[in-house]
Amino acid sequence: MLAIVGIVVVFGAVIGGFLLEKGQIMVLVQPAELLIIGGAALGTILVANPLPVVVQMGKGILRVFGSSPYTQASYLEALKMLYAVFQHARKEGLVKLEADVDDPAKSQIFARYPKFLKDHSALHFVCDTLRTAVSGGLGHFELDQMMEMDMEVHHQQVQQPVAALTTVADSLPGLGIVAAVLGVVITMGALGGPPEVIGHKVAAALVGTFLGILLCYGLFGPLAGAMSKQNDAQQQYLHVLRAAILAFVKGVSPILAVEFGRRAVPHLHRPTFARMEAACRQSAKA
């Protein structure tokens, strides 16, 4: 929602200032210039990126306009889920988790946390790590290295759409110049005609440069920045899961293991220890 407000402010301020100076708004409506810039930008995306990256870029832009999934409530639910898993493993033995992590959709433990089940990246991260811990043969140091590698690969993958969008944003001023040059070429062919016609063509050429710069710094550049921040938030969420799992594998009690995870939560979303403990105890009773 805040992204929509920001975009409205950007375009409102630019167009509002233009109108305050008695500018004619219809002069900025140049479909040909927009077609040149937009079509060329789309073409560069298709040339430089495989289809999965293009699809992920579109999904990432849509997520920017929604609310962040990583709130204090989502962190608290993840900690409650981990506590339930750790409690089950402590009472029944780590081997008893094998059926739950192999098919989490049918697990009675994970079924109590539907929001976490929908987060496929976090779900696979937790289940794959616990499956490795159940199989044995790895120390906690090697397990931590494995989780770190998994997070790095995941972050690199989700940053590819951001890099693609950033490249497009950086190319827009140049594409605006291309549109402006084409407008100048058309204007040169109209020399000798009525002054108002030549003036209109010059204005249309300048609008191309204006659109390229505005779309770069006022729309696509900020969108790429917002997508990158969402990826960083997801990485921090996985880091919380990693800290709690690693602590439990080292032999720490379930409630202290999730405390390790709570300490990794950013301060803006971190619940208090009392609230986390009460939520975990209540979940265990349920």
pLDDT average, residue stretch 114-130: 90
Q: Is residue 100 part of a domain?
A: yes
pLDDT average, residue stretch 28-48: 91
User: What pLDDT shows up at residue 27?
Assistant: 82
pLDDT average, residue stretch 83-104: 85
Q: Is residue 13 part of a domain?
A: no
Give 286's pLDDT tier (boundaries 50, 70, 90).
low
Give 284's pLDDT tier (boundaries 50, 70, 90).
low
Q: Is residue 25 part of a domain?
A: no
Q: What is the span of the domain harbouring residue 138?
A: 30-286
User: What pLDDT shows up at residue 52?
Assistant: 93
User: What pLDDT shows up at residue 285?
Assistant: 64
User: What pLDDT shows up at residue 40?
Assistant: 93
> Residue 94 above 80 pLDDT?
no
Q: Is residue 5 part of a domain?
A: no
User: What pLDDT shows up at residue 39?
Assistant: 93
Q: Is residue 12 part of a domain?
A: no
User: What pLDDT shows up at residue 157?
Assistant: 94
What is the per-residue DSSP string for the chain?
A: -HHHHHHHHHHHHHHHHHHHTT--GGGG--HHHHHHHHHHHHHHHHHHS-HHHHHHHHHHHHHHTS--S-SHHHHHHHHHHHHHHHHHHHHH-GGGGHHHHH-GGG-TTGGG-HHHHH-HHHHHHHHHHHHHHHH----HHHHHHHHHHHHHHHHHHHHHHHHHHHHHHHHHHHHHHHHHHHHHHHHHHTTTS-HHHHHHHHHHHHHHHHHHHHHIIIIIHHHHHHHHHHHHHHHHHHHHHHHHHHHHHTT--HHHHHHHHHHTS-TTTPPPHHHHHHHHHHHHH-
pLDDT average, residue stretch 246-259: 92
Q: Is residue 22 part of a domain?
A: no
Q: Is residue 4 part of a domain?
A: no
Q: Is residue 9 part of a domain?
A: no
Q: For the chain, what is the domain count?
A: 1
pLDDT average, residue stretch 60-71: 90
